[in-house]
Amino acid sequence: LIVLVGFMGAGKSTAAREIAADRGTRALDADELLAARVGMPIPAFFAEHGEEEFRRREEELIVELLRGGDGVLALGGGAVESPRVREALRGHRVVLLDIDADAAWSRCRSSDRPLARDRAAFSALHARRRPLYDEVAGVVVPALRGAAAKALRVVPEGARAVWAQTAGGQYPVIVGEGVIEADVGAPGRPYVVVDDNVKEQPWVPVAKATIVVPPGEQHKTLATAERLLSALAQMDATRGDHVFAVGGGVVGDLAGFCAATYQRGIAVVQAPTTLLAMVDASIGGKTGVDLPEGKNYVGAYHQPHAVLADTQTLQSLPAAEHAAGYAEVLKTALIAGGWLWERISAGARVDEEVIFGCARAKVAVVAADERDGGRRQVLNLGHTVAHAIETVTGYTRLRHGEAVALGLLAALRLSGQDGLRAHVLQLLADEGLPTTLEGLDVDAVVAATRRDKKRTGEEVPFVLVAAPGDVRHGRTVSRADLRAAVEELRR
Ligand SMILES: NC(=O)c1ccc[n+]([C@@H]2O[C@H](COP(=O)([O-])OP(=O)(O)OC[C@H]3O[C@@H](n4cnc5c(N)ncnc54)[C@H](O)[C@@H]3O)[C@@H](O)[C@H]2O)c1
């Protein structure tokens, strides 16, 4: 079954009908079926028998429906509160129509829904159910007319997906095995960009035009971008075509930057093949290259047409690269809190669910703030010191994720989170990541943080952790504290 879940007012019944029509199957509505079974409208049943009895009957009906048959089933907003229902949903394709409390209230306030009478209670209910929807959903779409049906046309069976919505556009982030082959309706011909390490892999799409760039951060430069742009021109790429970036964050940033600037902008599909790029770099539309003076100093915001995170590509990823990605997973879990932090803090291995959880967390942050004006800055947790270390060591000594591991430790010390820092240090060490660096030039690192791109006035803003899930940006720290936090990283 395809099952639609989501809060009141999300439009689940309509979406179920649209999807069913699309697939030539039947639409089922749990509330309607229940009303028929109990012989009265739901609000009347609620008034007469109370919520508890309603939930009991609802659970019974849904578990029965989920046991067999086919079609598209719309669930009532509260159905996921039942653990039995959540359990029964496993193995079905669950689509969440994501709606925030404000939008839901404006759609429901004048209805006869029994749970939409008091604004505060309504919002509290939304907050309580939200993590339950997250737990069961494999496909997450905005609660807009037609969005779910459209989504199911592009998301391959068995894959997970979330729609990123920003001022600059809307696009799916699809996670799963084999999704690099998904047809996401990208315009024109693909111009595949890969690096030398990846070009021979069996999953690299075969295309008429493939451009190979040298691997590594030291090649994320204007010189490489110029060669790539020239190659696009020589291969007759037009504004109706698209760049298909297959690789880690270096290829994604570089190819994305070229797509943003080639003929003032052509489409790009991001197919991240490192853990780091899947959970972070490919999502959010930041593209760019480094200058000798500073990392990512030249770039553009350019939202992808789609992100295809094919988890089968990770099989060939070297262990050290996997570890580097783990540092960003840990960062994301600290920012998101909730089930993701619980999993990661318990030392869980990174699987598809975790990758999807990280992607969702990043999507949620960038949706709220595309251009780093505010909330998006939380993603920079650990990165102020990390970027400074990378700059000082000439981008060659450490992988980005390894620098992030060190940066996270500095950020946690600056946050006064000594216990959490010790826990995170253990998790990083278990993954084989560095927790200190021999011969680190502390003064140079402190000086380099002053040139951080996030600085707008005199102060360099830091991102600090109050608790997992409660991360704050725009904090200032004293020079002495910063120095001490960096000093501690020197072996
Ligand atoms: N745009 C953003 O929002 C954003 C966010 C975070 C990081 N970044 C950028 O991402 C970059 C780091 O990305 P990265 O860690 O993916 O590094 P990377 O792109 O250099 O990839 C790491 C190495 O793995 C190889 N590789 C990639 N996929 C492989 C696979 N499946 N199998 C075998 N080898 C494979 C690459 O050739 C490379 O040698 C940095 O430049 C960083 O600034 C960007």
Mean pLDDT over residues 411-435, rounded? 97
Decide: helix, strand or coil at residue 279: helix
The separation between the first and the last C-alpha atoms of the chain, rounded to the nearest angstrom, is 56
Question: What does the pLDDT look like over 440-490, one tens digit per residue?
Answer: 999 999 999 987 766 666 678 999 999 999 999 999 999 999 999 999 999
Q: Which among 218, 222, 198 has a CA at the least distance from the CA of 210?
A: 198
Decide: helix, strand or coil at residue 433: coil
Count of residues in the chain? 491
Question: What does the pLDDT look like over 238-296, one tens digit per residue?
Answer: 999 999 999 999 999 999 999 999 999 999 999 999 999 999 999 999 999 999 877 88
Dihedral of the alpha carbons of 141, 143, 144, 146, in degrees to the nearest 10: 60
pTM exceeds cut of 0.85: yes
Q: Which residue has the tokens 């450490």?
A: 398
Cβ 248 under 6 angstroms from ligand 1: yes
Mean pLDDT over residues 351-359, rounded? 96
- Does the pLDDT at position 370 exceed 80? no
Contact 257, 301 (CB under 8 A): no
Instruction: Give, using CA atoms, the residue closest to atom 42 of ligand 1.
Output: 249
107 contacts: CB under 8 Å, gap ≥ 6: 8, 9, 99
Give the mean pLDDT of the chain. 94
Note the pLDDT of residue 280.
95
Q: How far apart are the CA of 58 and the centre of ligand 1, in A?
A: 48
Contact 330, 406 (CB under 8 A): no
Contact 54, 183 (CB under 8 A): no
| Measured distance CA(244)–CA(211) in Å, rounded | 10
State the DSSP code for 375.
Answer: G
Dihedral of the alpha carbons of 140, 143, 146, 147, in degrees to the nearest 10: -30
The token pair at 34 is: 């229940």
Residue 482's DSSP bridge partners are none
483 contacts: CB under 8 Å, gap ≥ 6: 442, 446
The residue type of 397 is R
CA 279 to chain centre: 6
Question: What does the pLDDT look like over 101-133, one tens digit per residue?
Answer: 999 999 998 888 888 889 999 999 999 999 899
Q: How far apart are the CA of 315 and the centre of ligand 1, in A?
A: 15
Question: What does the pLDDT look like over 29-63, one tens digit per residue?
Answer: 999 999 999 999 998 998 999 999 999 999 999 99
60 contacts: CB under 8 Å, gap ≥ 6: none
Mean pLDDT over residues 158-173, rounded? 90
The residue type of 280 is D
Question: What does the pLDDT look like over 92-109, one tens digit per residue?
Answer: 999 999 999 999 999 998
Cβ 215 under 6 angstroms from ligand 1: yes
- Does the pLDDT at position 27 exceed 70? yes
Over the range 272-284, which residues count as b (16 or more CB within 10 Å of their CB) and which as e? bbbbbbbbbbbbb
Cβ 316 under 6 angstroms from ligand 1: yes
199 burial type by CB count under 10 A (0-12 exposed, 13-18 middle, 19+ buried): middle
- Does the pLDDT at position 403 exceed 70? yes
Question: What does the pLDDT look like over 225-244, one tens digit per residue?
Answer: 999 999 999 999 999 999 99
Cβ 260 under 6 angstroms from ligand 1: no
Q: Which atom of ligand 1 is nearest to the CA of 296?
A: 43
Contact 140, 163 (CB under 8 A): yes
Q: Which among 261, 264, 257 has a CA at the least distance from the CA of 281?
A: 257
Instruction: Give, using CA atoms, the residue closest to atom 2 of ligand 1.
Output: 281
Cβ 256 under 6 angstroms from ligand 1: no
Tell whether the torsion through CA atoms of 292, 227, 173 and 372 is positive or negative. Answer: positive
